[in-house]
Amino acid sequence: MTIAEYIASEAIESFKGGVVDSSTDTSHPLVVLNPKSFKMELQQGIKAQLVIACTSSVTASVEVSLAEGVVLDIVELYAADSIVKVTVHQAESSALSTFSALLSSSHVSYTHALEGRGATNRFNALFVATGAEHQTIELNTRHLVPDCSSNSLIKGIAAGRATGEFRGLVYVAPDAQRTDAQQQNRNIQLDNAQIVALPQLEIYADDVRCSHGSTVGYEDAEVLYYMRQRGIDAATARRLQVEGFVQEVVMRCNMEPLCGIVREAVSDKMSQI
């Protein structure tokens, strides 16, 4: 099932943005299919789930504000070429968890501003670029006040003649003491593809725990040999290896049944490698 079929079969009404408060039905995910620009304000203490899915090309700007204590899970799927800018403002003790999968020539840039103490931000994303696609994830995690934490894992695969790009910035403002910011980026480059990885840290506070890392690797010849020695042909061995590589991040999507659909879409995309 594709995500569009799922939305149709469940007769889910597209979310138009605006204020989300205790009168909003948040027992199901709020779904935005092929967004134009929209704004969303989550009022104090709200727990909600948001789905953004692009199944046809869009250019959009998404702005989300989390008031104090809001807990928001976002799942994003880019299955058609799109340019999307996502800006999130997080107030005190709010918790944002993002899972994003790019499976087409899209450019998605995130600005996550941690503006209230004790805000937490988890970000898990992957891109799978094949053919002649160019996919870009930009992530700007901004620690503006003390005592916030962020944890990001971005995995990318580029195959064929594709380009996969990750531009990451962790910014820690001068008085954002006791910031805990972790950002990891792992990529695999196959065939004649290209990976561009630009991880950056800008730290102006002195009492912080920050780490970041970025790697670009290739197929592991030893792993392929091992699998082939067990009777698995070279093409399947390669696919298993790259699927295994993204598994860590794919497993972090935890909004069922949507994540099942996302996993299926990722797996379909992988078969093009």
Partner 1 sequence: MANGQQLKMLSVKNLHASVGDKQILKGINLEVKAGEVHAIMGPNGSGKSTLASVLAGSEKFTVTAGEVTYMGEDLLQLSIEERARKGLFLGFQYPVEIPGVTMANFMKIAVNEKRKAQGLEPLTAAEFLRMMREKSAIVELDSKLTARAVNEGFSGGEKKKNEIFQMAMLEPKLAILDETDSGLDIDALRIVATGVTRLKTPENATVVITHYQRLLDYIVPDYVHVLYKGRIIYSGDKSLALKLEKEGYDWLINDYRE
Which residues of this protein are in contact with partner 1, per CB under 8 A?
Answer: 220-223, 225-234, 236, 240-241, 243-248
**Minimum distance from residue 168 beta carbon to partner 1 (Å):** 22
Distance CA 12, CA 19 (A): 19
CB 272 within 8 A of CB 262: no
Nearer to partner 1, 59 or 247 (CB): 247
CB of 106 to partner 1, least distance (A): 24
Say if residues 234 and 186 touch (Cβ distance below 8 Å). no
Backbone torsions φ then ψ of 123, nearest 5 degrees = -135, 120
- Residue the block writes with tokens 């941690």: 114
Quote the least distance from Cβ 231 to partner 1, whole Å.
4
Per the DSSP assignment, residues forming a β-bridge with 217 are 188
Which CB, 174 or 244, lies closer to partner 1?
244
| CB-nearer residue toward partner 1: 109 or 267 | 267
What is the smallest separation between the CB atom of 235 and partner 1, expressed in angstroms? 10
Minimum distance from CB of 251 to partner 1 (Å)? 9
Which of 22/230 has CB closer to partner 1?
230
Longest CA pairwise span in the chain (Å):
60
2 within 8 A of 265, measured Cβ to Cβ: yes
Asked if residue 19 lies in contact with residue 38, where contact means CB atoms within 8 angstroms, the answer is no
